[in-house]
Amino acid sequence: MESAALLDLLGNENRRRILRLLARKPCYVTEISEYLGVSPKAVIDHLRKLEEAGLVDSRVDEQRRKYFSIARNLRLEVNVSPYQFGTKSAYPASRSLDMTRCRYLSLHVDGDAPGDSDADNEDAPAADADSDGDDGDLAALADELERLQTLENELSMAQRWVQGQLTDVMDRISERFGERDGRFYAELLSALAAGADTTEAAARRVDASPEVARDALRRLEELGVVAREDGRWRLS
């Protein structure tokens, strides 16, 4: 799907809320309707559009209820600057991608821009001694522009690679706890990894009550996965 069309599709707040809900667990229409506070008919219309875009798929359980879930990983990037506006959508990079081939991801970033210091990039070509100084500065800026554009592309690829790796790890964590509770425990560990170090903060991240989050954290503590120190949780 074209990124511009995808941006239009996600411009609707209720469709974004549906995706946030489905990112936590598969749901059927009645659950989504109650969550959004809108009619089942409106939910079905939103789900149809999301399915047509390939963002959502469905399955029927043993009770003949139709469940909807996120279909696959997709990354949408929007770039707005005084010099450009653009959108780009892409699927996560393959796990086998050799990130060591990226030229600039490990580059040390200096605070000075080209031309602001006598100690510019050592790899940049020296300006011709007979050329005008402004021309030399312009050439250095052009080199820096090329380097930064390449770095931007590499960072985008790295973000897609990390997104795929995160999903894989979350799936593996979910499998350890079974289909019913797996997603919840994976999200809870992700919340702690992201810095939610209190029961209340973790509960907000996973959209659960503090009591439910506390019971789950205690179970993870018994498994030796998390620890509590001075009233704060951390991955052990």
What confidence score (pLDDT) does residue 126 get?
45
Nearest to 23 by CA among 206, 175, 228: 206
Q: What domain count does the chain have? A: 2
Q: What is the pLDDT of residue 133?
A: 63
Residue 229 lies in a domain: yes
- For the record, the structure tokens of 192 come out as 């702690």
Domain ranges, residue 18: 3-70
Domain limit, last residue, from 16, 39, 70: 70
What pLDDT, on the 0 to 100 scale, is given for residue 59?
A: 92
Pairing outcome for strands 66-70 and 56-60: antiparallel
Domain termination residue (choose one: 33, 54, 70): 70
Strand partners, 58: 68
In this prediction the pTM is 0.65
pLDDT at 207: 84
Q: What is the CATH number of the domain that holds 228?
A: 1.10.10.10
The per-residue pLDDT for 106 is 62
Distances (CA, A) of 148 to 107, 143, 152: 11, 9, 6
The set of residues, in sequence order, having a beta carbon less than 8 Å from that of 101 and lying 6+ positions away, is: none
159 closest CA partner among 107, 89, 206, 110: 89
Give a yes or no: residue 8 inside a domain.
yes
User: What is the distance between the alpha carbons of residues 151 and 153, in angstroms, rounded to a whole number?
Assistant: 5
In a domain, 93, yes or no: no
Burial of 33 (0-12, 13-18, 19+ CB in 10 A): middle
**Residue ranges for the chain with pLDDT beneath 70:** 1, 93, 104-133
- Rounded Cα gap, residues 43 and 51, in angstroms: 12
Domain boundary among 54, 70, 86: 70
Kindly state the tokens that stand for 174. Answer: 């979910």
- pLDDT score recorded for residue 2: 81
Calpha distance 26→51 (Å, rounded): 14
Span 97-114, pLDDT tens digits: 777 777 766 644 444 444
Could you tell me if residue 40 is inside a domain? yes
For residue 232, report the phi and psi dihedrals to the nearest 5 degrees: -120, 140
Give the Cα separation of 67 and 60 in Å (integer).
6
